[in-house]
Structure 1
Amino acid sequence: MKIFVAGTTGVIGRFLIPLLVEEGHEVSGMIRDESHVNKIIKMGVKPVVADAFDRDAVFAALQKSQPDIVIHQLTSLSTGSSVDNARIRIEGTRNLVDAAKSVGVKRMIAQSISWAYEDGDIPAAEEVPLDIHAPMPRKTTIDGIAALEEKVTEMPESVILRYGTLYGPGTWYAIDGIVADQVRRKELVATNGVSSFLHVEDAARAALLALDWPSGLVNIVDDSPAPGTLWLPAYASAIGAAQPSIQAGRNRGERGASNNKARNKYGWEPIYPSWSEGFKNCL
């Protein structure tokens, strides 16, 4: 198939592209920075230079590529700004969906998140509503996710992957990542708030498999939702940092997510079923 990937050089894109090429797909990759052209050509990808916020450029990119499927992996995470990330989810997604529809693309696979559910005491299944009434600053993230998912479902077929908190090479949780630095400075406190993690390789593999999945929402998380009192001390040990302080309580929405649908309905199995082993071997 002809597949167009938006977010080719992102954390997931870097793992996804080799999988698509290995499967024999003809891949076009949208990049904003021309300096990445040679790198993605070497990966077997046709580069298409376009900024997600430049509507005309995105339309031209899809017109040139004429793909069968679009994979939406656009994020803006380098600055750590939730405002920037929400903007690309809202404006970038609008441009990408409209451009895809304009050239007759029927199917889109899109990246979402699994920690946007309304508050609760057990890991959230896909039927749980998004936390649309969240206060600021959480509301910024929720509004971005809600807009992304609403726009993507305008496609005739769409699979929305609600990823867990990503760890592994290139992520914030990598040994040289933003979170690792915060933990070394003892800026993070271990609480009872529950997180669901996902190794970046499992995220990429899910996007590949989703090419054949039915339309809908699906949580892509590991098997082990865990409170910060468990995972944060283990993470600190894995990166050689001092143990964090522990504090009772949790923040809104820190409930984790269930992967029952992905596992039982779609047969998806994570390569790294638990963060506990992943932290030891994959940071």
Structure 2
Amino acid sequence: MRILLAGSTGVIGRRLAPLLTDSGHEVIGLARTGAPFSVDVLDRDAVTAAVREARPDVIMHQLTSLSARDLAANSRLRREGTRNLVDAALASGVRRIIAQSISWAYGPGAEPATEQTPLDLDAEEPRHTSVAGVAALEEAVREAPEWVVLRYGTLYGPTTWYARDGAMAQMAAAGRLAADADVSSLLHVQDAAAAAAAALSWPSGAVNICDDEPAAAASWVPAFCAAVGLPAPAAAEGERRGSARGASNHYARKHLGWQPQYPSWREGFGTL
């Protein structure tokens, strides 16, 4: 297949491109800089022209705007950039879109969220901005004849925020990474890329892509700190936030045959 990889120079895109190429696909990169199509995805006309020229069979949307840790900018990219990509795809007859989303936008609950759990659209700010961006992205992608939304867990691994030299290691060094009761589902970045490649053959739908072990920060934050050579923080007091519940990967594992290389952060942190 001929695949337009939007976000080809990003954390996942750099790992995904060789996986696709090794599987025999033709990959055309699209990114703000450093790609065959150097395009600002917020420039609607430029995106339309790039998709028309690339003539892809599939658009793989792995775009984020997180280098400056500006969640409002990232939400705008999800809303407007995705809208531009989807409209360009529909105008050019592209049938299939695979897009990156997140697995921590679900509403409150007691158990890890499944794909049927509603998004947390009533969240207060600043969470509302992020959830609204996710909802807009997913709604736009569903307009394609064939679509897969990959709801990734919290990414860790080289070049992510959760790396030896990443932003969260810096927060931990400054004593600002809480080891509290909030539950997360984590995901090694290489497993994220592998899932995107596998999704080329998956049926339309949203899929939680995370490891097998949702865990409270009180458990995984000390392990992360140890992996990057930092002292563990003291356990924080307080109840778990209702929306900090983690997510279940049951559907991906049991119905799509996807299995993470690192089933738990316990093994995956060893790569740091």
TM surpasses 0.5 = yes
**Partner in structure 2 of residue 41 of structure 1:** none
Residue 65 in 1 paired to residue 54 in 2?
Answer: yes
2:155–2:187 CA contact under 8 A, matched in 1? yes
Residue 227 in 1 paired to residue 216 in 2?
Answer: yes
Letter in structure 2 aligned against 1:267: G
The within-5 A match list for 1:209-224 is: 209-224=198-213
Letter in structure 1 aligned against 2:263: P
The worse-fitting range, judged by mean Cα deviation, of 121-130 and 237-246 is: 237-246
2:110–2:242 CA contact under 8 A, matched in 1? no
Q: How much has 1:145 moved relative to structure 2?
A: 0.2
**Partner in structure 2 of residue 137 of structure 1:** 126
Q: Give the count of matched residue pairs.
A: 271
**Partner in structure 2 of residue 32 of structure 1:** 32
Residue identity (%): 56
Which whole-Å CA distance do the structure 1 matches of 2:242 and 2:135 have between them? 17
**2:246 aligned residue (256, 263, 269):** 256
**Partner in structure 1 of residue 135 of structure 2:** 146
Which whole-Å CA distance do the structure 1 matches of 2:158 and 2:75 have between them? 23
Q: What is the root-mean-square deviation in Å for CA atoms of aligned residues?
A: 0.8
Q: Deviations 1:132-158 (Å, cap 9, x if unpaired)? A: 000000001000000000000010110
Q: How much has 1:90 moved relative to structure 2?
A: 0.3
Q: Deviations 1:15-36 (Å, cap 9, x if unpaired)? A: 1000011111111110211xx2
**1:193 aligned residue (152, 161, 182):** 182
**1:124 aligned residue (113, 116, 119):** 113
Which whole-Å CA distance do the structure 2 matches of 1:29 and 1:205 have between them? 17
TM-score (norm 1): 0.94
**Counterpart secondary structure, 1:222:** coil
Residue ranges of structure 2 left out of the alignment (5+ in a row): none
**Counterpart secondary structure, 1:118:** coil
The within-5 A match list for 1:48-197 is: 48-197=37-186
Which whole-Å CA distance do the structure 1 matches of 2:222 and 2:26 have between them? 43
2:75–2:133 CA contact under 8 A, matched in 1? yes
TM-score (norm 2): 0.98
Runs of 4+ residues over 3 Å off in structure 1: none
2:179–2:221 CA contact under 8 A, matched in 1? yes
Q: How much has 1:179 moved relative to structure 2?
A: 0.3
**Counterpart secondary structure, 1:27:** strand
